Amino acid sequence: MIGAIEAGGTKIVCAVADRKELPRVAERISIPTRTPEETLPKIVSFFKQYPVEAIGIGSFGPIDVNQDSSTYGFITNTPKLAWRNFDFLGAIRAAFDLPYFWTTDVNAAAFGEQQYGAARFAKNSIYITVGTGIGGGVILNGKVMEGRGHPEIGHIYINQLASDPFEGNCPYHSNCLEGLAAGPAIEVRAGQKAEQLNATDALWQIEAHYLAQACVNYTLSFAPEVIVFGGGVMKQTHLFPLIQEQFQMLLGGYMETTAVESFIVPCKLRDNAGIVGSLALAEQLI
């Protein structure tokens, strides 16, 4: 069997699977993300029940993924103070001496979609989640892409529309992509929850324009075969044709892509992308 941990800011999902039955999850639990002292023993108890041979971990970040670093495996500069500079991988490894794949939650989700979801045909793909924040993972030649660290492509700068007076609400960058286009930015402009906005509201045009710009930048940077969107905001499926249309206009034919309807697509695994991706990463270790 293989194991997986998807560590989010509010809950931590642990799962095990028979590696021959992926993407089927055999057993899972969901644990509220409290302090490491309170949470870790529950994770360990779960995995003690199963003959697990490898574990994939997709964690909220930022995390240290640099194997040359003395803090490899740590959650680093997170606003969740109890987890800041916590050696998450080390704590799990202390309980189970196994091979581990350690990466971000969004990289794990990107790998899940690439192995079993909307990017299954692709060697190179991007996964973007648009919710209370914007995060993304990159698969390059079938592998999770990491440099000295992991990508943070939800925070790139894009060109703000002159018609959009909102100053942006990213605490680090004000009007980066997350500051202009995550759920909270839509809600500030609308004065109400994004999901209550009418599908024809002009604010969706602004949202689609920003996400399309991001897709152009990702396309020019990574040359993927497909860009997969997940996250709460993207449940507004009327956004997809708007993004696709804006993307084509903004790319200006500069780079060849497949037909835009199959290039910018919704995720398929939905809330399972992260845990299935973490399982798939564990499977590759064996």
Residues at the contact surface with a copy of itself, assessed by CB under 8 A: 62, 76-77, 123-124, 138, 140-141, 145-153, 155-160, 162, 172-173, 175, 213, 216-218, 220-225, 250-256
CA distance linking residue 169 with residue 159, whole number of Å: 15
* Whole-angstrom distance, CA of residue 78 vs CA of residue 133: 14
Question: What is the rounded (10 degree) CA torsion for 283, 147, 265, 284?
Answer: -10
The DSSP H or E segment spanning 2 is strand 2-7
Q: Minimal distance in Å, beta carbon 278 to a copy of itself?
A: 21
Interacting residues of 6 by C-beta distance below 8 A, sequence separation 6+: 12, 13, 14, 15, 58, 105, 108, 274, 275, 278
SS3 175: coil
Q: Both tokens of residue 98?
A: 């196994």
CB of 124 to a copy of itself, least distance (A): 4
Closest CB 195 distance from a copy of itself, rounded Å? 28
Q: Which two tokens stand for residue 189?
A: 């402009």
* Smallest separation, CB 215 to a copy of itself (Å): 10
CB of 232 to a copy of itself, least distance (A): 22
Instruction: State in angstroms the smallest separation of the CB of 249 from a copy of itself.
Output: 10
Which residues are paired to 4 by β-bridges? 15, 56
CA-CA-CA-CA dihedral for 234, 237, 239, 245, to nearest 10: 120
Q: Are 179 and 169 in contact (CB under 8 A)?
A: yes
Cβ distance to a copy of itself smaller for residue 81 or 162? 162
Nearest residue (CB) to a copy of itself, 55 versus 206: 206
